[in-house]
Chain A
Amino acid sequence: MRRSFFPIIFVIAGLLAIWYAAVVPMNIKMALTAAERNGFVVTPVGAKERRDRSAMLLVVQNTFAIKETFALERPRLPAPHQVAAELWDSTINKKITSKRSLVFHGWITLSSTLLGFAIGTGLGILLAIGIVYNRAMDMSVMPWAIASQTIPILAIAPMIIVVFNSVGLQGIFPKAIISAYLSFFPVVVGMVKGLRSPDQMHLDLLKTYNASSTAGFWKLRLPSSMPYLFASLKIGIAASLVGAIVGELPTGAVRGLGARLLSGSYYGQTIQIWSALLGAALLAATLVALISLVQRLTLNRMGML
């Protein structure tokens, strides 16, 4: 980890530099229009004149406006520090019960993510156990579980929301169903692989101990499935979050990170979109990091690390 510290910093700095460099040409036309309105001399004159010009050429001709491109109110591409400022403002400065607080919206999304993740993981583990211990179930269900991974399940999300709405269920639960659905299949596939991971030698050893099938499950199969389980939990929680966010789009929800994205795109509030996006990214990173931590603690305790 320490060996990769400087390379990682370098790559992140590189990405930020590219971002900053892209801000200038992306925003130059808007910045020039604003500057012209404020009485600056811009070459060439008139927004119509500039519309078909290349952005790079405009930057070279109007170097004075470079500074302005970083400070527009509704830029095409906000600069990193603008997004960071908005993120800070909408998480720290606002009361968390306020509708303008990102923490508030994040919590709405997080709660349905976690509920869905718990449901999906629970059902997934149960089905995996069924598949491992029941041959008919294995042969009937497993091909479908694998095939379903190639299907863009997320496309069903809007329908689930609307159908549940029409039977009177609203709020956290329909979104949680989508999250559960998305985290379900990765967990099934990973857990089946994990429960089958003990090698024949170990299974034979348990047989010589005259161990029952339940003991075999608790003492051998379940412990040795843990690395696989955690790997699929990490995929599952990221998928759950995406599911919850997409679940907020179709009904025009007013609360949640997905709603922030949608309202930002309706009103051209680019900084709001970017901060919601970054908020979602931070949330995803935190969730995955938490699972990694639990994984390390668990595997360490089990002596598998």
Chain B
Amino acid sequence: MTLVIFAFVIWLVAWRVNVALANSAASETRLVKLVVPIIFGFTILVVWELVVRGLNVPLVILPPPSIIADTFSAKLPILWKDFVQTFVKGALSGYLIGCTAAIALAILVERFDFLRRGLLPVGNFLAALPIIGTAPILVMWFGFDWHSKAAVVVVMVFFPMLVNTVAGLSETTAMQRDLMKTYSADPWQAFIKLRLPAAMPFIFNGLKISTTLALIGAIVAEFFGSPTLGMGFRISASIGQLALDMVWAEIVVAAIAGSAFYGIVAIIEKGVTFWHPSQRG
């Protein structure tokens, strides 16, 4: 019980510190902006640890962070193999295929106004559907290995990517297109120099949305059948053994992989669309 009270006290103190920092004169500096969320996240971990230990919560309900960290470092080789199977083979290959195909189709379709007007609403509609449900079908078609996971990822990222690219390619104004004409640019030049760069913020928006979708697709598809490795397989198998520390370790891997993937795409975006107002601030 003392641990729980201790956790409560720590929470109060940390919150006081954060309030003081947020309302101080230095609250706009980079350092404080970074420190405040870190204090908050760290406090949550400490409170979680203390409350779980203080109340003797059984391991099969919620393991404390320290045990999760132990499992994480002890099972690193297994986690790495799962990561390669699910992320590198399944999610990443599906992401590349799906995004390339969607961008290619968008570039083809965009030239025809008729198709564009039909494809945008239909694509928007399909993007909102629970496409993850195609996982059992695709696992049946492509087998248990990573090919079926990549296929699920392709289907999941395709429509958001298509809709964003089509929307982006029609972003240019009549004035800009006229300027290209006065330069006597041929359609190909106008595409490379004007329409494609103008579409980049939209394309990267789609690419960023797709990073999360890709990881979700690859993990959930493994619930429908997989070889005996992979993050989704490990999660469902460990749940069967009530080894929740292993499940949490996989979730940590998924979180790191997801945010790193998103971060990398965001960095590339910064390099490519440096001219866009949202990147200049």
User: Footprint of B on A, CB under 8 Å?
Assistant: 3-4, 6-12, 15, 76, 135-136, 138-144, 147, 149-152, 154-156, 158-159, 162-163, 166-167, 234, 238, 241-242, 245-246, 249-250, 257, 261-262, 264-265, 268, 270, 273-274, 276-277, 280-281, 284-285, 288
Query: How far is the CB of A279 from the nearest CB of chain B, in Å?
Result: 10
**Within 8 Å CB of B132, what residues of A?**
154, 242, 245-246
State whether B22 touches A139 (Cβ < 8 A). yes
The CA of A121 and the CA of B80, in the complex, are separated in Å by 36
- Are B37 and A144 interface neighbours, CB within 8 A? yes
Query: Quick one: given A140-B37, A246-B220, A270-B137, are A151 and B254 in contact (CB under 8 Å)?
Result: yes
Among A11, A140, A167, A280, which residue has its beta carbon within 8 angstroms of that of B36?
A140
Q: Are A249 and B119 in contact (CB under 8 A)?
A: no
Complex A-B: 14 CB contacts under 8 Å: A6-B114, A139-B18, A151-B259, A152-B219, A155-B250, A158-B235, A159-B239, A166-B61, A250-B236, A265-B224, A265-B225, A270-B137, A274-B137, A284-B130
Q: Is the interface of A mostly helix, strand, loop or mixed?
A: helix
Contact B254 A155 (CB under 8 A): yes
Interface centre among B27, B132, B139 (most CB of A within 10 A): B132
Given A11-B122, A151-B254, A155-B219, CB of A285 within 8 Å of CB of B128: yes
Among A76, A158, A280, contact of B133 (Cβ-Cβ < 8 Å): A280
Kindly provide the distance from the CB of B120 to the nearest chain A CB, expressed in whole angstroms: 8
Q: Which residues of B contact A281 (CB under 8 A)?
A: 129-130, 133
B115 contacts the other chain (CB 8 A): yes
- B219 near A158 with CB under 8 A, answer no
Interface-lining segment among B48-56, B95-103, B208-216, B272-280: B208-216
What 9 A-B pairs have minimum CB-CB distances, sorted nearest first?
A: A7-B118, A265-B136, A140-B40, A11-B118, A150-B262, A136-B22, A7-B117, A143-B37, A139-B36
Question: Which size class do B's interface residues fall under?
Answer: 35 or more
A250 touches B239 (CB 8 A): yes
Q: When the two chains form their complex, are residues B18 and A140 in contact, meaning their CB atoms are under 8 A apart?
A: yes
A152 in contact with B216 (CB, 8 Å): yes
Q: Which one of B60, B116, B212, B232 lies within 8 Å of A166 (CB-CB)? A: B60
B 181-224 to A, binary, CB cutoff 8 A, 1 in contact else 0: 00000000000000000000000000000011001100110011
Given contacts A6-B114, A280-B129, 11 further A-B contacts (CB under 8 A): A76-B140, A150-B262, A152-B212, A154-B216, A155-B216, A155-B250, A158-B239, A159-B247, A163-B62, A238-B128, A265-B136
Which B residues form the contact surface with A (CB < 8 A)?
15, 18-19, 21-23, 27, 32-33, 36-37, 39-41, 60-62, 114-122, 125, 128-130, 132-134, 136-137, 139-141, 211-212, 215-216, 219-220, 223-225, 231-232, 235-236, 239, 242, 244, 247, 250-251, 254-255, 258-259, 261-263
A225 CB to nearest B CB, Å: 21
Which residues from A are CB-within-8-Å of B134? Answer: 277
Query: In the complex, what residues of A have CB within 8 A of residue B250's CB?
Result: 155
CB contacts (< 8 Å) of B259 on chain A: these are 147, 150-151
CB distance from B52 to the nearest CB of A (A): 13
User: Shortest CB–CB separation between residue A190 and chain B, in angstroms?
Assistant: 14
Contact of A140 among B39, B129, B133, B137 (CB under 8 A): B39
Residue of B nearest to A162 (CB): B239
Assembled-state Cα–Cα distance A238/B114 (Å):
28
A163 touches B128 (CB 8 A): no
Candidate in A3, A136, A245 with the most chain B CB atoms within 10 angstroms? A136
A135 & B37 in contact (Cβ 8 Å cutoff): no
B119 & A159 in contact (Cβ 8 Å cutoff) = no
